[in-house]
């Protein structure tokens, strides 16, 4: 696979490490949320057959964490963003 | 031996002779020959034995689809089983041996299987070897294992190199027949970066095997001229002997280039094969088509061949396979074979054409509406029996038979993303379906465009479409004959066996049996009969098999459907996939700064992650590892020992939020740590399990230095970046890994300070540099870092200098501190001392254990949010009687402990229900004079002082032990504060 890194351009997927569902961005506040909320955050996934937002880390590169929007059926990648930008944007809309 | 079957013509260089042997017999051939063509030229048709019935077999094809003519090529470490003689390029000195036979190819004892064939029908494994159960392991399995398999693997190391490479292009063209060459010409002339790959050593594809014209030249000459033009283009890369084996995501293809397979030995510095990864803008599959046979009784004898192959051997290689030849066909292409052979002076005695009516070939006995119903000839074809339209049977003496059941487009690569081929009745074959790999176009015969004109045209049009071109070359004139096929899959007659999959010995009967037992789906058919599961993956047999199943079940072929294909298109050697990653180069090694010194001392090394660390450093006279390790431990505790701890991960953490960041990634608090101090940190995963531990020092207001375990250095850094970028992007914190920037040594023992005072420039007295101190210092003016931390329980420091000074620092410390008899200790002594002190490491940081399990539950601060804090409070992780870290010693000091042993109460049966936990780490303590261990014991904190048993059924161990505190040496910690 090829991931179009927003800063570095097209890069082979072998340069990256895969983490999983990008909902890991939305970590609850541990001083507020309890075990149940954290359990949902950590374990519950939608596992779609289709478009999926997921976290990839450019370990053999610039160490950026990326949010990659990938179709789990076709592997087509429609969007790649810096996770930092996505996280900041999600916070603003909260 | 003379080349008795060589005729005029062909693309071989008759000015040169190549000598080779097959089963020890010497033969001769010419450059341009394959092993198969050269053997056929020498009148050798018998080349192998079949897999199950050990039937005598010869080649049926002239290409990579070959199921029969598999040989062992080369000898010694280069011996290669299952090489297809039809694609093995002849070279001077080639040695090949037949396989799957004993004692000889002509007489094979296992041929008895053929007589017992009723016992070996489809599914025989599942039925025959069921009962009695006890027979399986001792009797059935060894017999099956001995009989199974094709060829044998050499036990010697492969002396040749394999490589991997990466290529980029605008257009990859897979196959250099008329379609691929025309596509290449179109894209090449337009200036595009083109890669044209073909599995053959000569480009041109089927044009090399045919006699018809392209433009005003012979097809093969047009191909040669086109290749010459393409090779003059700097933007075109021609890759012969290169098979594109797989289509992967986003336009990436893999290809195997056989760089040196056509040579006796690779040229110096050259690999045998290269696995290429090709990044493409677009790709065109121009892989042509593969002819399929017709199933009839005893259709597997040497001399029976695909009609197109018979023609190829005559036209391309100047070889007549037989003296008296017949052709059996259901389509017009078979007639070409008869015509070409006759024009080359071969005696074509009959054409058996299953189609009724239509024109007859002039000058040849052309039987319409006729079928071949049987053959004879033990080791090679001697005659065929033909049933004519009027029902009369006739036996015709022939020594070669060309069979054409039609041509199957090579759709394989188009299916690699699960696209299902669709049936095209016009050519009675499957063509590429929808949703192939994005960016891949299919043209020519691979797309079901079977004429030369259609190949050229669709090749050109595909290049135009793929690259959006506005100009294109003129199309040369070429034949545009229709396919003219009336499907015939198998000849219904008698009770004999009619082969479908020659390599796996699957016959029409097996398909009938599968149907009878209701394995009617193509996927079940495949698995039940093993149709298409051999090394050729059913390239000639699959479609016949499913067509027969369609017939038997009364369904249409589209309703029956087809299995699809996965990479690789043809078999790929394991060595090619491994590339350079073997032996010493299997993975990279990282050497510590003290490696050269240690090597000089004859140290023993151990792999820790990618690192090679010193395990122990034997002294003269020490013959057993324990002698060295015990000495290193005792010497360290008595005076001073030095250990290279460079491998521990080091991460510099800076920024105004550095302290707050650490509070969130560590379970305990770091923002309150004073500048110039270290603290032990415990890092959890979000699920509450311990991730890693280490000491972190505050070097300045906004500057920390974190250490991680060796094993987790990379994972911790990745995790910190995740926290920084993804969880808390608003924090002002920067990270950099400095693991490789600093050489770091632990200096431990009562004389550690005295030794260090001889090398450092600063005052490091207990008052100036107390326990858990950290400072930037200098060593003879050189910048350095000093931490007063201890993993051994001794007065200890870790001193770091820039990596390139690490070796010098070690030698300097040993030289200047000579009066203290310093020793260097390795990972074994390190382990002994940490277990004596009850410090957790790999065995305890096992990815399943919590801070509570480790006796560190109080370290998880609930006054702040940190990774894992919430979920570490889960019910299941806070069980009062859960696992707790304990120390263990045997009641009898002579008794041995083994890590992995389980805790049992006295008198309890050694069953899982009574399991109390397990030993995580075990060493011999030279101070205590007996084995000691750490372990996780259920409710262990309440069992200190009790006696239990340690049981290890594998090691035959059942030992009484005492549960003790994990802090087994100097529990008050007086030594490290000294």
Q: What is the CATH number of the domain that holds B729?
A: 3.30.70.1400
Distance from CA of B418 to the nearest CA of A (A): 10
What's the distance, Cα to Cα, between the start and end of chain B in Å? 91
Identify whether residues B265 and B275 lie together within a single domain. yes
Contact B438 A76 (CB under 8 A): yes
| Cβ–Cβ under 8 Å, residues B58 and B39 | no
Contact A84 B718 (CB under 8 A): no
Q: Which two tokens stand for residue A60?
A: 């053999």
Identify whether residues B371 and B493 lie together within a single domain. yes
Average confidence (pLDDT) over A3-14: 97
How many CB pairs below 8 Å do chains A and B form together? Answer: 71
Distance between alpha carbon B601 and the CA centroid of its chain, in Å? 39
Q: DSSP for B650-697? A: EEEEESTTHHHHHHHHSSS--TTPPTTEEEEEEEE-TTSSEEEEEEEE
HEC string for B92-120: CCEEEEECCCCECCCCEHHHHHHHCHHHH
**B380 closest CA partner among B643, B765, B43, B740:** B43
Identify whether residues B492 and B429 lie together within a single domain. no
Q: Indicate the SS3 state at residue B43.
A: coil
A35 and B CB contact within 8 Å: yes
Chain position carrying tokens 């396919």? B483
Q: Which domain holds residue A38?
A: 2-93
A2 and B CB contact within 8 Å: yes
B629 assigned to some structural domain:
yes
B508 assigned to some structural domain:
no
A51-74 confidence digits (pLDDT tens): 999 999 999 999 999 999 999 999
Residues 174-233 on B with a CB inside 8 Å of A are: none
Extended beta strands in B286-370, E state: 289-291, 304-306, 324-329, 347-353, 366-368
Q: Indicate the SS3 state at residue B206.
A: helix
Contact B721 A65 (CB under 8 A): yes
CATH number reported for the structural domain that contains residue A37 in this entry:
3.30.2270.10
Q: To the nearest whole percent, how much of chain B has pLDDT over 70?
A: 97
**B645 closest CA partner among B790, B774, B837:** B790
Contact A29 B870 (CB under 8 A): no
B133 assigned to some structural domain:
no
Distance from CA of A47 to the nearest CA of B (A): 20
Provide, as residue numbers in chain B, all residues whose Cβ is less than 8 Å from the Cβ of A31. 864-865
Sequence-ordered alpha helix ranges (H) in A2-93: 35-43, 83-93
What is the rounded CA–CA span in Å between residue B330 and residue B294?
A: 9
Mutate: best of B726, B733, B861, B871, partner A, most A CBs <10 A: B726
Rg (CA), chain A: 14
Contact B729 A87 (CB under 8 A): yes
Q: Which two tokens stand for residue B921?
A: 């780490």
Contact B866 A30 (CB under 8 A): yes
| Closest CB to A65 among B438, B725, B869 | B725
Bridging pattern class, strands B242-247 and B252-258: antiparallel
Chain position carrying tokens 């996939």? B577
| Cβ–Cβ under 8 Å, residues B766 and B795 | no
Q: Which two tokens stand for residue B686?
A: 């979000």
B585 assigned to some structural domain:
no
B418 and A CB contact within 8 Å: no
A76 and B CB contact within 8 Å: yes
Contact B725 A83 (CB under 8 A): yes
pLDDT at B1: 47
Provide, as residue numbers in chain B, all residues whose Cβ is less than 8 Å from the Cβ of A24. 726
Task: Name B444's Cβ contacts closer than 8 Å, sequence gap at least 6.
Answer: B175, B177, B178, B179, B180, B286, B288, B454, B455, B458, B459
| Cβ–Cβ under 8 Å, residues A15 and A61 | yes
Distance from CA of A8 to the nearest CA of B (A): 17
b/e map of B95-123 (b: 16 or more CB within 10 Å)? Answer: bbbbbbbeeebeebebbebbeebeebbbb
Identify whether residues B318 and B425 lie together within a single domain. no
**Size of chain A, expressed as the number of residues it contains:** 94
A89 and B CB contact within 8 Å: no
Residue B211, classified by CB atoms within 10 Å of its CB into exposed (0-12), middle (13-18) or buried (19+), is middle
Distance from CA of A75 to the nearest CA of B (A): 7
Residues 678-697 on B with a CB inside 8 Å of A are: 686-687
Distance from CA of A51 to the nearest CA of B (A): 16
| Beta sheet of B782-787, edge-to-edge order | B774-779, B782-787, B796-802, B742-748, B641-644, B823-824
**B726 closest CA partner among B663, B671, B665, B667:** B665
| Cβ–Cβ under 8 Å, residues B684 and B867 | yes
What is the rounded CA–CA span in Å between residue B56 and residue B43?
A: 15
What is the rounded CA–CA span in Å between residue B963 and residue B950?
A: 11
Chain B residue at shortest CA distance from A75: B249
Contact B721 A57 (CB under 8 A): yes
Identify whether residues B188 and B93 lie together within a single domain. no
Residues of chain B short of pLDDT 70, as ranges, are: 1, 118-119, 123-133, 135-137, 139-149, 978
What is the rounded CA–CA span in Å between residue B953 and residue B900?
A: 10
CATH number reported for the structural domain that contains residue B64 in this entry:
3.10.20.440
Final residue before a domain boundary, out of B833, B851, B869: B833
Chain B residue at shortest CA distance from A83: B726
Contact B718 A17 (CB under 8 A): yes
Q: Which domain holds residue B37?
A: 18-113
Contact B249 A2 (CB under 8 A): yes
Contact A2 B252 (CB under 8 A): yes
What is the rounded CA–CA span in Å between residue B729 and residue A29?
A: 15
Identify whether residues B178 and B225 lie together within a single domain. yes
* Dihedral sign computed on CA atoms, order B559, B565, B570, B573: negative
What is the rounded CA–CA span in Å between residue B170 and residue B955?
A: 62
A31 and B CB contact within 8 Å: yes
* Dihedral sign computed on CA atoms, order B195, B201, B202, B204: negative
| Cβ–Cβ under 8 Å, residues B446 and B287 | yes
Contact B865 A30 (CB under 8 A): yes
Identify whether residues B794 and B943 lie together within a single domain. no
B825 assigned to some structural domain:
yes
B864 and A CB contact within 8 Å: yes
Provide, as residue numbers in chain B, all residues whose Cβ is less than 8 Å from the Cβ of A91. 730
Identify whether residues B398 and B494 lie together within a single domain. yes
pLDDT at B310: 98
Domain count, chain A: 1
| Cβ–Cβ under 8 Å, residues B29 and B37 | yes
Neighbours of B389 (CB within 10 A): 14
Q: How many CA atoms lie within 13 A of B131 on its CB side?
A: 1
B16 and A CB contact within 8 Å: no
Task: Name B468's Cβ contacts closer than 8 Å, sequence gap at least 6.
Answer: none
Chain position carrying tokens 């066909």? B329
> Is 0.95 exceeded by the ipTM?
yes
Mutate: best of A7, A42, A49, A60, partner B, most B CBs <10 A: A42
A83 and B CB contact within 8 Å: yes
Final residue before a domain boundary, out of B737, B767, B798: B737
What is the rounded CA–CA span in Å between residue B970 and residue B400?
A: 90
Identify whether residues B639 and B655 lie together within a single domain. no
Mutate: best of A54, A65, A67, A81, partner B, most B CBs <10 A: A65
B732 and A CB contact within 8 Å: no
Distance set, CA B365 to CA B12, B333, B425, B491, B756 (Å):
31, 17, 29, 21, 103
B429-476 confidence digits (pLDDT tens): 999 999 999 999 999 999 999 999 999 999 999 999 999 999 999 999
Identify whether residues B396 and B419 lie together within a single domain. no
* Backbone dihedral angles phi then psi of residue B114, each to the nearest 5 degrees: -65, -40
B977 assigned to some structural domain:
no
Q: Which two tokens stand for residue B208?
A: 């090399």
> Nearest 5°: CA angle at B281, between B280 and B286?
70
Q: Identify the bridge partners of residue B742 per DSSP, sorted by sequence position.
A: B802
B540 assigned to some structural domain:
yes
Distance from CA of B726 to the nearest CA of A (A): 5
pLDDT at B923: 96
Q: Which two tokens stand for residue B680?
A: 């032990």
Contact A83 B726 (CB under 8 A): yes
Domain count, chain B: 6
What is the rounded CA–CA span in Å between residue B36 and residue B89?
A: 9
Identify whether residues B283 and B414 lie together within a single domain. yes
Distance from CA of A3 to the nearest CA of B (A): 9
Q: Identify the bridge partners of residue B213 per DSSP, sorted by sequence position.
A: B218
What is the rounded CA–CA span in Å between residue A42 and residue B312?
A: 63
Neighbours of B393 (CB within 10 A): 11
Provide, as residue numbers in chain A, all residues whose Cβ is less than 8 Å from the Cβ of B249. 1-2, 13, 75
A4 and B CB contact within 8 Å: no
A45 and B CB contact within 8 Å: no
Mutate: best of A26, A38, A62, A89, partner B, most B CBs <10 A: A38
B204 assigned to some structural domain:
yes
* Backbone dihedral angles phi then psi of residue B45, each to the nearest 5 degrees: -110, -30
DSSP B130: -
B893-916 confidence digits (pLDDT tens): 999 999 999 999 999 999 999 999
CATH number reported for the structural domain that contains residue B215 in this entry:
3.50.50.60
Provide, as residue numbers in chain A, all residues whose Cβ is less than 8 Å from the Cβ of B722. 19, 55, 57, 65
Q: Identify the bridge partners of residue B162 per DSSP, sorted by sequence position.
A: B273
Contact A1 B721 (CB under 8 A): no
Mutate: best of B729, B864, B869, partner A, most A CBs <10 A: B729
What's the distance, Cα to Cα, between the start and end of chain A in Å? 34
Identify whether residues B388 and B434 lie together within a single domain. no
């Amino acid at each position: 696979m090829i991931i179009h890194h927003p800063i570095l351009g097209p890069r082979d997927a072998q340069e990256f490490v895969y983490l999983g569902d990008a909902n890991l961005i939305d970590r609850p506040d541990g001083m507020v949320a309890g075990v149940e909320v954290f359990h949902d955050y950590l374990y519950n996934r939608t596992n779609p057959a289709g478009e999926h937002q997921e976290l990839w880390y450019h370990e053999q590169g610039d160490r950026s964490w990326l949010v990659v929007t990938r179709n789990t059926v076709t592997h087509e990648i429609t969007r790649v963003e810096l996770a930092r930008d996505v996280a900041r944007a999600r916070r603003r809309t909260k | 031996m003379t080349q008795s079957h060589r005729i005029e013509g062909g693309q071989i260089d008759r000015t040169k002779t190549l000598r080779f042997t097959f089963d020890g017999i010497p033969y001769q051939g010419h450059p341009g020959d394959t092993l198969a063509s050269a053997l056929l030229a020498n009148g050798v048709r018998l080349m192998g034995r079949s897999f199950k019935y050990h039937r005598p077999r010869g080649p049926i094809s002239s290409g990579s689809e070959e199921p029969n003519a598999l040989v062992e090529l080369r000898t010694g470490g280069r011996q290669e089983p299952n090489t297809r003689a039809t694609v093995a390029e002849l070279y001077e000195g080639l040695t090949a041996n037949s396989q799957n036979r004993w004692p000889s190819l002509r007489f094979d004892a296992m041929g008895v299987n053929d007589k017992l064939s009723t016992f070996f029908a489809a599914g025989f494994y599942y039925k025959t070897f069921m009962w009695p159960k006890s027979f399986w392991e001792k009797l059935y399995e060894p017999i099956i294992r001995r009989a199974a398999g094709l060829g044998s693997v050499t036990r010697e190391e492969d002396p040749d190199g394999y490589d991997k490479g990466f290529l980029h292009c605008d257009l990859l063209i897979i196959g250099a027949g008329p379609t691929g060459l025309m596509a290449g010409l179109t894209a090449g002339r337009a200036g595009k970066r083109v890669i044209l790959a073909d599995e053959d050593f000569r480009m041109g594809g089927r044009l090399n095997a045919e006699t018809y014209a392209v433009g005003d030249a012979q097809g093969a000459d047009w191909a040669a001229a086109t290749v010459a033009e393409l090779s003059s283009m700097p933007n075109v890369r021609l890759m012969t002997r290169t098979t594109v084996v797989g289509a992967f995501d986003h336009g990436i293809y893999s290809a195997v280039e056989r760089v040196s397979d056509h040579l006796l030995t690779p040229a110096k510095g050259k690999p045998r094969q290269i696995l290429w990864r090709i990044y493409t803008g677009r790709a065109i599959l121009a892989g042509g088509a593969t002819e399929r046979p017709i199933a009839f009784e005893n259709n597997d004898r040497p001399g029976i061949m695909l009609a197109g192959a018979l023609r190829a051997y005559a036209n391309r290689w100047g070889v007549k396979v037989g003296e008296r030849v017949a052709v059996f066909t259901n389509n017009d292409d078979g007639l070409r074979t008869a015509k070409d052979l006759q024009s080359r002076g071969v005696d074509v005695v009959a054409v058996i054409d299953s189609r009724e009516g239509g024109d007859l070939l002039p000058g040849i006995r052309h039987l319409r509406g006729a079928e071949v119903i049987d053959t004879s000839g033990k080791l090679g074809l001697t005659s065929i029996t033909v049933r004519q339209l009027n029902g009369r049977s006739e036996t015709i003496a022939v020594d070669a038979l060309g069979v054409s059941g039609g041509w199957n487009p090579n759709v394989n690569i188009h299916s690699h993303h699960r696209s299902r081929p669709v049936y095209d009745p016009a050519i009675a074959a499957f063509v590429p379906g929808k949703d192939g790999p994005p960016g891949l176009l299919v043209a020519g015969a691979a797309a079901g465009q079977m004429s030369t004109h259609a190949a050229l045209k669709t090749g050109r049009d595909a290049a135009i479409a793929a690259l959006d071109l506005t100009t294109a070359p003129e199309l040369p004139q070429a034949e545009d004959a229709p396919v003219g096929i009336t499907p015939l899959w198998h000849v219904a007659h008698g009770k004999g066996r009619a082969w479908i999959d020659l390599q796996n010995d699957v016959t029409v009967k097996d398909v009938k049996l599968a149907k009878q037992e209701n394995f009617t789906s193509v996927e079940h058919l495949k698995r039940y009969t093993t149709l298409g599961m051999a090394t050729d993956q059913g390239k000639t047999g699959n479609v016949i098999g499913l067509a027969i199943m369609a017939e038997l079940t009364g369904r249409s072929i589209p309703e029956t459907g087809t299995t699809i294909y996965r990479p690789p298109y043809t078999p790929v050697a394991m060595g090619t996939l491994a590339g350079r990653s073997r032996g010493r180069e299997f993975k990279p090694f990282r050497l510590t700064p003290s490696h050269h010194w240690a090597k000089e001392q004859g140290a023993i090394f151990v792999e820790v992650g990618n690192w090679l660390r010193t395990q122990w450093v034997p002294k003269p006279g020490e013959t057993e590892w324990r002698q060295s390790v015990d000495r290193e431990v005792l010497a360290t505790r008595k005076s001073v020992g030095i250990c290279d701890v460079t491998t521990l991960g080091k991460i510099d953490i800076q920024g105004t939020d550095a302290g707050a960041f650490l509070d969130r990634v560590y379970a305990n608090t770091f923002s309150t740590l004073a500048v110039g101090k270290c603290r032990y940190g415990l890092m959890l995963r979000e699920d509450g399990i311990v991730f890693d531990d280490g000491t972190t020092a505050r070097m300045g207001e906004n500057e920390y230095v974190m250490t991680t375990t060796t094993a987790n250095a990379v994972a911790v850094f990745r995790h910190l970046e995740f926290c920084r970028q993804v969880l808390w992007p608003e924090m002002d914190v920067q990270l950099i890994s400095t693991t490789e920037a600093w050489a770091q040594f632990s200096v431990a023992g009562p004389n550690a300070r005295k030794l260090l005072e001889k090398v450092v420039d600063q005052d490091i007295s207990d008052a100036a540099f107390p326990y858990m101190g950290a400072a930037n210092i200098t060593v003879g003016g050189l910048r350095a870092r000093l931490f007063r931390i201890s993993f051994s329980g001794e007065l200890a420091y870790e001193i770091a200098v820039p990596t390139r000074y690490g070796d010098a620092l070690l030698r300097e410390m040993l030289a200047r501190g000579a009066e203290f008899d310093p020793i260097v200790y390795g990972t074994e002594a390190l382990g002994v001392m940490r277990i004596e002190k009850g410090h957790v490491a790999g065995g305890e940081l096992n990815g399943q254990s919590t801070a509570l399990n480790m006796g560190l539950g109080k370290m998880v601060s609930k006054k702040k949010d940190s990774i894992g804090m919430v979920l570490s409070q889960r019910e299941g992780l806070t069980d009062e009687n859960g696992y707790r870290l304990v120390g263990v010693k045997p009641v009898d000091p002579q008794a041995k402990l083994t890590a992995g042993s389980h805790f049992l109460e006295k008198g309890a049966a050694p069953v899982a229900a009574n399991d109390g936990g397990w030993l995580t780490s075990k060493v011999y303590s030279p101070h205590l004079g007996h084995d000691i261990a750490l372990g996780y014991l259920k409710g262990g904190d309440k069992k200190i002082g009790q006696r239990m048993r340690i049981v290890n059924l594998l090691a035959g161990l059942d030992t009484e032990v005492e549960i003790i505190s994990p802090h087994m040496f100097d529990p008050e910690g007086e030594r490290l504060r000294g």
